[in-house]
Structures are given as C-alpha cells and as structure tokens.
Amino acid sequence: MDHPSLLALFEAYLTAERRASLHTVMAYTTDVSQLIHYLSEQAPEKIATAVTGQDLRGWMMALAKGGLAHRSINRKMAALRAFYVFLAKKGLMVDRPTDALKSLKGKKRLPIFFQEKELLAVLNPYLFPVNFAGLRDRLILELLYGTGMRLAELVALCQTDINLEDGTVKVLGKRDKARIIPFPKPLIQLITAYISAKEKLGHPLTPQLIVTNTGQPTYPMFIYRIVKKYLAPATRASQHSPHIFRHTFATHLLDNGADLQAIKELLGHASLAATQVYTHNALTRLKEVFKKAHPRAEES
C-alpha cells in the first residue's frame, strides 16, 4: 500500500476509532508525513511498514540536532506510536518499532498563571465595550477562569449545557468524557445578560453558547484573538493563551486550600500526575515566603 493511502486510512482511524480532536488528527498525520519524507531521503527503498526502531531513533536524533525541543520530539513519538498501533490493528505490520523508543527527558516548564491582583485587572468590567461583543468577550474570559475549562470545551459549549439554577456547566472533555463544573455566582447575571443580548440580535437558534458578532459558531482562533486583545495590554505575561486561565484557575484553588483530587476532577485530568504540576508553583512560592520571613533562612 502506498504512503498516501496509508495516511488517509490513518486519518480515518484517528477520527472514527480514536475519536481524536481535529487538532490531534492534523498534528499526528503531519508528524507521520514528516517521518515518511525523512525515510525517502535517507533510504528511498524503505517504506513506513518496514522501519525498525533504529530508523526511528535516527529520525529523533536528526530532529534533536536540528534544534527541536524534546517536548516536541516526544509529541512526534506519540504520533508514531499511534500510527504503528494502527498498522498492527489493520494487520499491515506485526512488530511495532516504537516499542523500543523511550521518551526524551526535558526541562519541566511550570505553568504560567496570573496573580490575583493581575487577574482582577484583566477582568475589570470597565475594559469591555457596552454592547453584545463586549458582553461576549467578558463572558469568554470569565468562563475560562471561573471553570478552568479547555479552549475546545468552551468552543463546543452549548446554551443547554448551562444550568443557571444550580450554577453549574456541563462540558465534554477529551475522549468525550463529560463532567459537571460549578461556576462563580456572579457569572449567573453575566450569562443571563449575554443570552438576552444574543436573542435580541436574532441568534437564539445557534446551539453554541459563544457566537461571533454575526451569530456564527465560534472557533479556536476567534477565542485566541479575543483573549490576546485583553491580555496583551493588561499583563506582562509572555504568553496570551486561553490556557493561562486554566492554569490560574487550578493554582488559585490550590493556594486557597482545595484538595488536589478535587482539582483533578474539575480540570478533567485522566490522572493525578497531570494535576500535581501545580504543587510545584505552590512550593516555589512557599520557599520565597520562607526566605523573606525566616530569620535564619539566608545564613550560611
């Protein structure tokens, strides 16, 4: 089977069987395409279904020598693992060359988050225009921080997922796993005002909660632009991603005594290990407080 046909089948497998997001499907198919291109340059006779672990390690080394970060290389390794699982399931390959691969160790990057004072500045109601777009933009930022939901979850959020009586929102996370998240009471008034404005503009039939100015369903880049519009002038953060609100949500919960397991459930993490990264931020701040407050902290 030729490579284009393999890639088409792999894309269908990721979409239908793995139920991967569009972003993951595009990233994984791109990574496998890059491997195929590498093989064609190194050994034109070599095909994807006949590679060895040594071939794959050679590609990883070439990527590392080219300056690609270990984190990005590991992402590509995840794509290859999925690809060779797919080939094995379809009976196109017996051995899985990725079994011999180990993830590269990289420096852990602590999540970027806002201090509470910074967040208050970002969410200042007076920063938002007094119209439909202003209501929507403010709701986007308040929902991201108030619930810790992912960008994709916000984009897919429907009006029927909001329960104003209970003050909860139902989100559909990774692998279509649903969870219920409570949101702050002040959001009830904001959501009510936004829905009313949305209906007055004739957009009530759009099932998605967040829509564009013309009532069309929103999309990730649209949210990115709105977040950057308000973050860039208000903070000194080097990144202006919607994900910063998720990190801030988790960090503030932990700082105020929330149980790590509860934070895991609110974030929709598959394992506690993913949530524990926020404890590093807490420990760093505790060390800073200790150095400033303890009389003998700086003694040699």
Span 40-65, pLDDT tens digits: 777 666 566 677 778 888 888 888 88
Q: What angle do CA 163, 164, 168 make, to 5 degrees?
A: 50
Q: Is 13 tagged catalytic?
A: no
Task: Read off the pLDDT band of 70 (50, 70, 90).
Answer: confident
pTM of the model: 0.63
Provide, rounded to the nearest whole percent, the portion of the chain with pLDDT above 70: 83
Cα 60 versus chain centre, distance: 24
The catalytically annotated residue of 150, 198, 247, 252 is 150
Cα separation, 136 vs 209, in Å, equals 9
The pLDDT value given to residue 65? 85
CATH for the 116-289 domain, from 3.20.20.70, 1.10.443.10, 1.20.1600.10, 1.10.3720.10: 1.10.443.10
Residue 127 Cα distances to 15, 130, 132, 220, 292, angstroms: 40, 9, 14, 22, 35
195 pLDDT exceeds 60? yes
How many Å is the maximal CA-CA distance in the chain?
A: 71
Which of 136, 246, 247, 252 is an active site residue? 246
Tokens of 42: 């190194």
Q: How far is CA 192 from CA 65, 170, 195, in A?
A: 54, 17, 5
Is 150 catalytic? The answer is yes
Distance separating the N- and C-terminal Cα atoms of the chain: 68
Identify the CATH homologous superfamily for domain 3-100. Answer: Tyrosine recombinase, N-terminal domain (1.10.150.130)
pLDDT at 155: 94
Counting every residue, how long is the chain?
300
What is the C-alpha separation between 173 and 150, in angstroms, rounded? 8
Question: What contacts 228, CB < 8 A, 6 or more positions away?
Answer: 240
133-181 per-position pLDDT tens digit: 999 999 999 999 999 999 999 999 999 999 999 999 999 988 888 999 9
Of 71, 65, 6, nearest in space to 32 by CA: 6
pLDDT of residue 240: 78
Distance of CA 138 to the CA centre of its chain: 20
Catalytic residue among 46, 75, 170, 174: 174
Catalytic residue list contains 174: yes
pLDDT range class, residue 101, cuts 50, 70, 90: confident
Catalytic residue flag (residue 37): no
Q: Is 105 a catalytic residue?
A: no
- Say which of 3, 18, 81, 269 is annotated catalytic: 269
Q: How far apart are CA 145 and CA 125, in angstroms?
A: 14
Question: Percentage of the chain surpassing pLDDT 90?
Answer: 33
Is there a catalytic annotation at residue 278?
A: yes
Domain ranges of the chain: 3-100, 116-289
User: Is the predicted pLDDT of residue 1 greater than 60, yes or no?
Assistant: no
